[in-house]
Structure 1
Amino acid sequence: MDLLECRLAIDDLDSFVADLGEIGDRHGTTIQAFDARYVADRRHLERAIAFADRAIERGENVARDRAVEILLYAAGRRQIDRALEMGVSEGENRAIVLVDGDSDEDETAAIEAIEALDAFVEHESTLETRDPETLCEFFDITDAERAATDASLSALVRERVALLEVEK
């Protein structure tokens, strides 16, 4: 898995998603773009991939597309419409684009193709800055829950990813 932390300016979301799909197909990779505000850390996305792949292997996946299944787990939701809130939208986005393939070469080639898209503005560190309030609101993490544990916010978000597997 490789992550492209960046800023995107998306004019047409459907066209952008189609471009990502085409790049993924061409390079044998799965590509999913996330609004960076809703990604706790790299491990959050690694867990989402692991759970999505396990669901697909077991035939328990909700989505037909691996990228969408990863989005469902990353969002901690089984409803695709609700999970899409975690994706990028039209306009300016601080984004994290996940690229997962069988080889580093495939991932690198896919990232280079994404960087060549008109929507790509520039590299921007997005995992370094998190808004705890946004993460807590999106993942339904209460103040009481945070006060009851010494676990980090990132760990609590990853717990939501794991709970999705249990709640099926």
Structure 2
Amino acid sequence: MRLVEGSARIDDLDAFLGALTAIGEEMACTVQAFDARYVVDRAHLERALALADRAFERGENVARDRGVEVMLYAAGRRQIDRALTVGVSEGEGPVVVLVAADGESGDEAAAADAVGDLLDRPGTATDYDEALVCDYFDVDERELAATAGSLAAVVHERVALLDVRK
């Protein structure tokens, strides 16, 4: 799995997503874009990908598309329309794009390079927005104080608990 981070000015969401889909199809990779303000760290998306793949292996997936299933796990939601919040939208903002080979023939490096060409400023890492993450994942100060871990650890738990809540 590779992550391509940067900022993007998305004037036409369908065209942007279509370009990502074309890259994925050409390079035999899943290519899924996220609003970087909701992604707490690399492990957040690594775990979402692993759980999505496991759901497909077990026939327990909700989405037909691997990228959408990854988004569901990353969002900690089983409803696609609610999970789309963590995806990209029209306008300018920070993005992180997950690129994962669909099998042995997938070319992650070439796909990641092609995705980078779509971004205005590829390679610029963005920290997540703590207030936005707390609101989206319904994490309050009491929960943060009660856990020994960080906000990222709480989000990782939400991702993992999605299987339990099916």
Q: Is the 8 A contact 2:49 2:70 kept in 1?
A: yes
Matched residue pairs, number? 164
TM-score by length of 1: 0.93
Q: Which 5+ residue runs of structure 1 have no aligned equivalent?
A: none
**RMSD value, Cα:** 1.4
Distance 1:9 1:67, change over 3 A: same
Q: Is 2:60 the counterpart of 1:50?
A: no
Identity %: 57
**Match in the other structure for 2:13:** 13
Contact 2:35 2:86 in 1 (8 A): yes
2:142 corresponds in structure 1 to: 144
Q: Structure 2, unaligned stretches of length 5 or more?
A: none
Counterparts in 2 of 1:161 and 1:57: CA distance versus 1, 3 Å: same
Kindly state the Cα deviation for residue 103 of structure 1 after the two structures are TM-superposed.
6.2
Q: Tell me which moved more, 99-108 or 134-143.
A: 99-108
Closer/same/farther in 2, CA of residues 92 and 20 from structure 1, 3 Å limit: same
**Residue 122 of structure 1 aligns to which amino acid in structure 2?**
R
User: 1:1-168 counterparts in 2 under 5 A?
Assistant: 1-101=1-101, 102=103, 106-117=107-118, 120-123=119-122, 124-126=124-126, 129-168=127-166
CA distance in 1, matches of 2:76, 2:116: 28
Q: Distance in 2 between matches of 1:58 and 1:90?
A: 35
CA–CA distance in structure 1, aligned partners of residues 91 and 37 of structure 2 = 15
* TM-score normalised by L of structure 2: 0.94
